[in-house]
Structure 1
């Protein structure tokens, strides 16, 4: 799954990278601890081309009576995306990209404590998560919402967690966004084994109130296996 991530790239640089027109209400960056229900940067394709916009991270199906009317849908499994009533239409018509600098996953120790790990590209580049979006509410009070698509983890990530976000390379962004016709289903595969690296980070990130660059810096606790620094 993907339950927390970081974004450090300036909004204007993101807009340029994704060839999108930026909206004027984009979230503040850097944010080293992006949490569910936070506003996030989203690349979507419209009638006039790509746009970089702000959306609530937490997909709201149209039948929810309120944002808290059902489960918090921050992720959507690739294997069932097209069949789930909440996601099926969005899967066909409203795919988008969520830029990120890296994401967090956790392991649990025998004593129940949770150790966070930070994943990022080996080449230091930005990640583009495949996602879907939904406009919820009335026309005057519509909330734009999104969920990040996840896949089974590749062997490298599986050492920490059995799921991972769908990471899409630049050469397939257009296909995922629907700019190049059909075929998006074929893109829902784990990232290449050598794309990502990871390291342990300070458990303070376990709090959704934690802030600052230190949250993504390597953390060397006495019981952290050095072999995990991959």
Structure 2
């Protein structure tokens, strides 16, 4: 699962990395606490090449009569995305990438306190989450929405959580985006063991209003590092 994430990469660096151009007003960066319903940096392929667009994180199926007409769909399971009515057409026609620097996950202690962990690529590179998008509503209410694709956690992460975002390597971006024909289904497998590292961070991030770079500072206790 992925319920909160971080993006610190500057706008121009995102454009260069993904060879994409902005098509609307993008969210401010850095942001150390991106939450569901927030706008996110979304990469997709348009008629004139790759685009960076601001999309609402929280996929709205076309049959929703309002944004609160059903559950908030922030994640889509890779195992069932091609079958679920909410996602199956988007999986075939509207795939994209959500840009991140890292993401959070939580465990609980014996007293049921939520303990946050921060995950990032071990090579320091930005993260590209596999994602799908949906245009919802009409006229002034029209908005573009998205969900992150998740898969079963790899062996390194499964002790903390049974799910993880589907993270794509640069050589796979074009295939997922549909620029290299079909075959994206083969990408929906647990991530490579070496891709991510993780460590405990302070409980300040338990609040969705928290902000600032201190949210991703590791705790000093080395025994809690991943």
Sort the TM-score into its range (normalised by shorter chain).
over 0.9
Q: Taking structure 1 as reference, are residues 49 and 139 closer, same or farther at Cα in structure 2, changes over 3 Å only?
A: farther
Please name the residue that 2:225 is paired with: 229
SS in 2 for 1:14: helix
1:161 corresponds in structure 2 to 161
Deviation at 1:191, TM superposition (A): 1.1
Partner of 2:13: 13
Question: d(CA) in 1 for partners of 2:186 and 2:97?
Answer: 16
What is residue 147 of structure 1 aligned with on the other side? 147
- Name the residue aligned to 2:50: 50
**Match of residue 4 from structure 1:** 4
Q: Distance in 2 between matches of 1:172 and 1:51?
A: 17
**SS class of match (1:179):** coil
Deviations 1:151-206, CA, capped at 9 Å, x for gaps: 00001111211100000000010000000100000001111101110010011101
Deviation for aligned residue 1:139: 4.1
- The answer as to 2:65 corresponding to 1:65 is yes
Superposition misfits of 4+ residues, deviation over 4 angstroms:
none
Paired residue for 2:113? 113
8 Å CA contact 1:6–1:32 kept in 2: the answer is yes
Aligned to 1:157, what secondary structure does the other structure show?
A: coil
Say yes or no: does 1:136 pair with 2:136: yes
In the other structure, the counterpart of 1:85 is: 85
Q: What is the TM-score when the length of structure 2 is the normalising length? A: 0.98
5+ residue gaps in structure 2?
Answer: none
Q: Deviations for 1:58-96, whole angstroms, at most 9, x for unmatched residues? A: 000000000000000000000000000000000000000
1:81-129 CA-partner distances (Å, limit 9, x unpaired): 0000000000000000001000000001110101000000111100000
**What's the offset of the Cα at 1:227?**
3.7
Aligned residue-pair number: 226
Any stretches of 5+ residues in structure 1 without a counterpart? none
Matched residue, 1:204: 204
Tell me, yes or no, if structure 1 residue 26 matches structure 2 residue 26.
Answer: yes
Shift of 1:141: 3.2
Contact 1:200 1:220 in 2 (8 A): no
Which stretch shows the higher mean deviation, 17-26 or 205-214?
A: 17-26
Give me the whole-angstrom Cα distance separating, in 2, the residues matched to 1:156 and 1:137. Answer: 41
| 1:30 Cα deviation from its structure 2 partner | 0.2
Aligned to 2:217: 217
Rounded Cα–Cα distance in structure 2 between residues aligned with 1:147 and 1:68: 16
Q: TM-score, normalised by structure 1?
A: 0.96
- Tell me the residue number matched to 1:172: 172
